[in-house]
Amino acid sequence: MSNPQEARKEQPSTYFVQDRENQSEFDRLRVQDQMVTSKMGGVLPEQSDPEKLRRVLDVGCGTGGWLLEVAKEYPTIETLIGVDISAKMLAYARAQSEEQGVSERVEFHVMDALRMLEFPTGYFSLVNARFSISYLRTWDWPKFVSELARVTWAGSVIRLTECGWWRGNGEALNKLADLALQAFFNAGHVFVKGDDTSLMEHLPELLSRQEVHDIQTRDYELVFPAGTPESEGYREDLRYGFRVALPFLRKWVGVPQDYEQLYQQMLEETARQDFVGRWRLRTVWGMAPTHRKAQHVV
């Protein structure tokens, strides 16, 4: 297992934000974590008995927002581990775990999930991955899900949450969303050109291929009416997102000459009193294959 204090050079990343040390990306992730968790009804709204969990892993944890909320909401969970390729994000996450009083149960480790998860087979009672579209290409998914299944206790939970594209009743927003969707397809992160639901639709099949069973699905249609705190969070996510993604867009689809005009128009649209933002999410979860043996009782 990686030493969280070990200094190491960060590996090249397929994450859509090329500058992972960008303060705007830290701010975006914090805003997004809080907004999404709130609108979904909590950190594990579909799980019937989270108090029974003993070890939880969050893959691609970023600044650690989801994992820290799990630690605070479920004090009976003994060990919570977050892994990410960004050492700087994890340093921030560790500082937050100290500040929020959960550092005795929470760990963060630098790890490249595209290679392998450096944990024993059958170690966790729940493995979570949220918004992995941000760094996984379509061809990365089989190995990735196989690793999730390997480190999960037989019959315990593998949980994936993925998203569609930012939408709303704004012309500029929808144009920018279409541009981003095309870039993600060109870069290999989306299965079907022009279809922002294609990854969500593939999730059950990706799990079943790895012998994950009892697969269930819960869909969310997040709505952000103007004037609500969640709407402000949605607007901030957009404001940061279409800035930090600019190099990615430039590389994979090209940026139109009127991009800055569209961006400013999008900010104006999302500030209107009649603006309503929408975002589709899907959580798919299932049980790890029964032939996987645990190293320790969880």
The pLDDT tens digits of the residues spanning 205-214 come to 999 999 999 9
Rounded CA-CA distance 145/206 in Å is: 7
| pLDDT (mean) for 273-289 | 97
DSSP 191: S
The DSSP-derived string for 174-203 is HHHHHHHHHHHHHTT--SSTT-TTHHHHHH
Could you tell me which residues come within 8 angstroms of residue 244 by beta carbon, excluding any fewer than 6 positions away? 17, 19, 22, 24, 25, 28
- Beta partners for 106? 80
- Residue 282: phi and psi, rounded to 5, are -140, 130
Nearest to 281 by CA among 31, 38, 20, 24: 38
DSSP 128: E
* pLDDT over threshold 90, residue 1: no
- Confidence at residue 291, expressed as pLDDT on a 0 to 100 scale: 57
The DSSP-derived string for 4-29 is TT---PPPP---S-S-TT-HHHHHHH
Cα Rg, the chain, nearest whole Å: 19
CB atoms within 10 A of CB 12: 8
Indicate the pairing of strand 276-287 with strand 152-163. Answer: antiparallel
Cβ proximity of 210 and 149 under 8 Å: yes
- Confidence at residue 125, expressed as pLDDT on a 0 to 100 scale: 97
Going by pLDDT thresholds of 50, 70 and 90, the confidence category of residue 298 is very low
Angle between helices 171-186 and 259-270 (to 10 degrees): 130
- Please name the residue that has the structure tokens 């869909």: 219
Rounded CA-CA distance 69/112 in Å is: 23
How far is CA 71 from each of CA 76, 80, 105, 176, 221, rounded to the nearest angstrom? Answer: 9, 7, 8, 36, 26
- Please name the residue that has the structure tokens 């959960």: 102
Domains of the chain: 23-165+194-221+279-287 (3.40.50.150)
* pLDDT over threshold 70, residue 66: yes
* pLDDT over threshold 90, residue 189: yes
Reported as a single tens digit per residue, the pLDDT across 229-241 is: 889 999 999 999 9
Share of the chain residues as helix, strand and coil, in percent rounded to the nearest 5: 40, 20, 40
To the nearest whole percent, how much of the chain has pLDDT over 90? 88
Could you tell me which residues come within 8 angstroms of residue 127 by beta carbon, excluding any fewer than 6 positions away? 56, 57, 59, 148, 151, 152, 157, 158, 159
